Structure 1
Amino acid sequence: MVAAYFLLPLDLFGPHRPSVSWTVFIAALTAVAVMLLGQIRGVLAERRDIRPGVTIPLLVCLSVLVFSAGYFALAKHPGEFAGLYTRLDALYFTMVTLATVGFGDITAQGQAARLVTILQIVYNFVFLTAAATSLSQWLRERAGERARSKGGA
């Protein structure tokens, strides 16, 4: 996924196609959120046909890359970001925001950049926290099952 992020033609997005850029960003983020919610619901319902140990980490990674691609496209708008010029800068800013570190070397200056940054923070709190909680619950349940099966054997 990371290789695809660096190879995709993200230059198709940006100020010359704002409606396409926003539509693709919102659609991708919504799709990832829906898939995360499906995994979370599956863990809560204790469904055996899902694989949250693989799927949730991949969806979290995809969430990061969607935000990163959005930041990269948005940085092409004059005045939106200071210090964000490359895909690596965008990925770095996404990770710094996700980790709530905020070094300040890249800053959201425009209203759209600040809106997307706020959206990422809310998304992190709601979806990624719920996904991480579900994943840890699933892992605890699997560990408990293994312990019981070894103890009963």
Structure 2
Amino acid sequence: MENSRTLETATARSTLWRWLAQAAAATVLVTAYFLLPLDDLGPRRPTLSWTLFVLALALIAALLLQQISHVLLDHPHARPGLVIPLLMSLSILVFATTYQALAQRPGELIGLDTRLDALYFTMITLATVGYGDITPHGQTARLVTMLQILYTFIFLTAAATALSRQLRTAFFRRRTDHHHRP
């Protein structure tokens, strides 16, 4: 009985440390988004901007697919609860950075003036709410917005589904293990 309590305490501590690590990593990502000097991206350096955008999304998609396959194949060392939320957050920040860069071109994104506006527009697009206060008027902004919607449908939805599957499996395993203890 004492061993099961010790194991439960260790598991609870491990879970707490994972949540704290996630919160710290998310804080670092958001802080970096607001503080990094990204103003040179956009119309001043279009080739660099598009290259970074495509490479970042491709890398995030590859890492998400790796985590999804780990969950589907029940890989013993999979840590989707740590990695998937961070990759999802990073993809949101990549799109927000892209919208901020696009807004530097007159007429592309009406109503988007700050990084907070860009993050807000990204989240509103992700949630498919669309308040209408920021609107993509330029063809490039509309293309990126459609790409974000497709990216969300394909990669972020699959990642969220894999994460919820892994959490559900872990919950039922713990529940079953708890009921079968002497």
TM range (shorter): over 0.9
Secondary structure of 2:39 counterpart:
helix
In structure 1, runs of 5+ residues without a counterpart are none
The TM-score, its normalising length taken from structure 2, stands at 0.83
1:114 equivalenced with 2:134 (yes/no): no
Residue identity over aligned pairs, in percent, reads: 59
Deviation at 1:50, TM superposition (A): 1.8
The TM-score, its normalising length taken from structure 1, stands at 0.98
The count of corresponding residues between Structure 1 and Structure 2 is 153
**1-structure distance, mates of 2:36, 2:101:** 12
1:82 equivalenced with 2:110 (yes/no): yes
- The residue number in structure 2 matching 1:14 is 42
- The residue number in structure 1 matching 2:26 is none
Deviation at 1:78, TM superposition (A): 1.5
User: Aligned letter for 1:8?
Assistant: L
User: Aligned letter for 1:36?
Assistant: L
- Tell me the C-alpha RMSD between the 2 structures: 0.6
1:5 equivalenced with 2:63 (yes/no): no
**2-structure distance, mates of 1:33, 1:8:** 23
| Residues 95-122 of structure 1 deviation map (CA, whole Å, 9 limit, x = unaligned) | 0000000000000000000000000000
For 2:92, which of 49, 64, 79 is the aligned residue?
64
- The residue number in structure 1 matching 2:61 is 33
1:102 equivalenced with 2:110 (yes/no): no
1:54 equivalenced with 2:82 (yes/no): yes
- The residue number in structure 1 matching 2:13 is none
| Residues 43-72 of structure 1 deviation map (CA, whole Å, 9 limit, x = unaligned) | 001001121011111111111000000100
